Amino acid sequence: MFTLGTDPHTVVTSTPDQGDLDVRYTPFRMERWQSTYEHRVRYNLSESAVHPLTVGELFEIAGKESGTDQIELGYGQSNGSDELRERIASLYSGATEDSILVTIGGAEANFTCFWHLFESQGKAAVMLPTYGQVPGLIESFDNRILPVNLVEEEGWQPDLSELEAALHEGARFVIITHPNNPTGAALSRESMQAIAELTEQHGAWIMSDEVYQGAETNGEISSSFWGCHDRVLITNSMSKAYGMPGLRLGWIVGPPDLVTELWGRTDYTSIAPPTLSDVLACMALEPATRARILDRTREITRANLGLLEKWMATQEGRFTYRPPDAGAFCFTRYSANINSTEFAEKLRVEKDVLVVPGDHFGMDHYLRLGFGAPEETLLEALNLLEDAFDEVTT
């Protein structure tokens, strides 16, 4: 039974088994910030991926002539074309095309997994800081979050004693972003093994968002949680490592019987991925083309990280940071006595530069700085960032 509360954004759900479940909308602060302003500034350092490919560049990398004019813009296979699911499955040892569900970006993949896991009525252990989508959904529907902090002094590795305590307290699934957003840190093999062992012992699921896999700064692709035990759901997309966020194409990897059930849930959301996106993603994931795309991503990431580090070295201790293992972004603590949201607003309004304030990840006095822009644009934006710090520290 559904009854409307006095707040128009709140719906109270009541069932004989569950009692009253308070449902409310929790704004996704970072996405609201980016969605509102990223196309309204000259310098966008809020993005976490490299400068995107054009369709023409994709065809050039793939060594193909443009042939999109013959693609019918009807409904495609609603769980993703057989060819695309086969190519995605080839990236995960032991997976088959029946293990894959193609979605509208990583966002739908995450939401669909959350929808299933949330129904267990268990609590969720969430490694923090993290990308705020699924934690925000849990808060929106009924706050059952048990935090597991990533420890900066240990290279942003998880506090495993907190994870064990969360599992003892009833966490039925663990939410992980690996490599992490906003820190850019990859989990060590030791951390991954401990997470796998603890979740296996407690019969808990792992939900691992691995969207930055392939965008590593050292050239070594991060290990996936896929295959560590039977209760694992992996999400990924073409947005970050592949530099094609505009395709809005993602995927879930999971046990085939569960993937079939998750596919049914997308009947309520997007119904089917865009036909054109399916074709282009299939082209991009052809093995030789995929390798060249990831080479491009790593080349940009390594070169621009070098530029950022040179700039940081001139800042006389204003910033402290751990260089990211993956992703075109850096999570940095700054020394100025100004709130991160206030400072980000100053940058946006006065300097035409967009960054993500640490507040959006629950950590004030940090900024997430994207460095995937073209070199000239990045250096101009960093100079404006320096000017802004001069103004708030003098």
Tokens of 328: 């075109």
- pLDDT at residue 6 is higher than 80: no
CB contact set of 381 (below 8 Å; sequence gap of 6+): 43, 45, 353, 373
Residue type, 370: G
Q: Among 118-132, 141-155, 190-204, which range has the highest average pLDDT?
A: 190-204
- Where a domain ends, among 287, 311, 339? 287
- Where a domain ends, among 265, 287, 309? 287
- pLDDT at residue 230 is higher than 50: yes
Q: Name the pLDDT band for 11 (thresholds 50, 70, 90).
A: very low
Tokens of 129: 């800081």
Top pLDDT among 16 and 389 is at 389
- pLDDT at residue 120 is higher than 90: no
Q: Name the pLDDT band for 141 (thresholds 50, 70, 90).
A: confident
- On whether residue 297 sits in a domain, the answer given is yes
Q: What local confidence, expressed as pLDDT, does residue 313 receive?
A: 96
Backbone angles phi, psi at 178, to 5 degrees: -140, 115
Rounded CA separation 126/124 (Å): 6
Q: Name the pLDDT band for 26 (thresholds 50, 70, 90).
A: confident
Same domain, yes or no, for 379 and 240? no
Top pLDDT among 288 and 136 is at 288
Q: What local confidence, expressed as pLDDT, does residue 4 receive?
A: 32
Q: Quote the domain boundaries for residue 387.
A: 29-53+290-393
Q: What local confidence, expressed as pLDDT, does residue 7 receive?
A: 41
Q: In Å, what is the CA distance from 315 to each residue of 232, 294, 309, 310, 389?
A: 43, 31, 10, 9, 10
pLDDT in tens, 80-91: 999 999 999 999
Q: What local confidence, expressed as pLDDT, does residue 356 receive?
A: 98
Among residues of the chain, what percentage have pLDDT more than 70? 94
Q: What is the mean pLDDT of the chain?
A: 92
CATH code for position 138:
3.40.640.10
Q: What local confidence, expressed as pLDDT, does residue 121 receive?
A: 65
Same domain, yes or no, for 114 and 213? yes
Contact 181, 212 (CB under 8 A): yes
pLDDT in tens, 280-334: 999 999 999 999 999 999 999 999 999 999 999 999 899 999 999 999 999 999 9
Same domain, yes or no, for 320 and 269? no
CA nearest neighbour of 27 among 147, 114, 133, 115:
133
- On whether residue 11 sits in a domain, the answer given is no
Rounded CA separation 224/226 (Å): 5
If one counts the domains in the chain, the total is: 2
- On whether residue 15 sits in a domain, the answer given is no
Burial of 19 (0-12, 13-18, 19+ CB in 10 A): exposed
**What average pLDDT score do residues 148-154 get?**
97
Same domain, yes or no, for 242 and 315? no
Same domain, yes or no, for 89 and 196? yes
Same domain, yes or no, for 329 and 184? no
Same domain, yes or no, for 139 and 267? yes
- pLDDT at residue 15 is higher than 60: no
**What average pLDDT score do residues 86-115 get?**
97
CATH code for position 364:
3.90.1150.10
- Where a domain ends, among 238, 264, 287? 287
Tokens of 98: 């029946």
Q: What local confidence, expressed as pLDDT, does residue 114 receive?
A: 92
- Least reliable range by pLDDT among 13-27, 108-122, 302-316: 13-27
- On whether residue 335 sits in a domain, the answer given is yes
Q: Name the pLDDT band for 5 (thresholds 50, 70, 90).
A: very low
Q: What local confidence, expressed as pLDDT, does residue 340 receive?
A: 98
Q: What local confidence, expressed as pLDDT, does residue 373 receive?
A: 97
- Tokens 């250096």 found at: 379
Same domain, yes or no, for 212 and 337? no
Q: Name the pLDDT band for 367 (thresholds 50, 70, 90).
A: very high
Same domain, yes or no, for 273 and 309? no
Long-range contacts of 59-63 (CB under 8 A, 24+ apart): 59/283, 61/289, 61/292, 61/293, 61/296, 62/283, 62/284, 62/286, 62/289, 63/289
Same domain, yes or no, for 79 and 212? yes
- pLDDT at residue 94 is higher than 80: yes
- On whether residue 205 sits in a domain, the answer given is yes
DSSP lists the bridge partners of residue 329 as: 370
Residue type, 392: V
- On whether residue 21 sits in a domain, the answer given is no
Same domain, yes or no, for 262 and 206? yes
Q: What local confidence, expressed as pLDDT, does residue 98 receive?
A: 98
- On whether residue 20 sits in a domain, the answer given is no
- On whether residue 14 sits in a domain, the answer given is no
Same domain, yes or no, for 85 and 230? yes
How many CA atoms, within 13 angstroms, populate the side-chain half-sphere of residue 49? 21
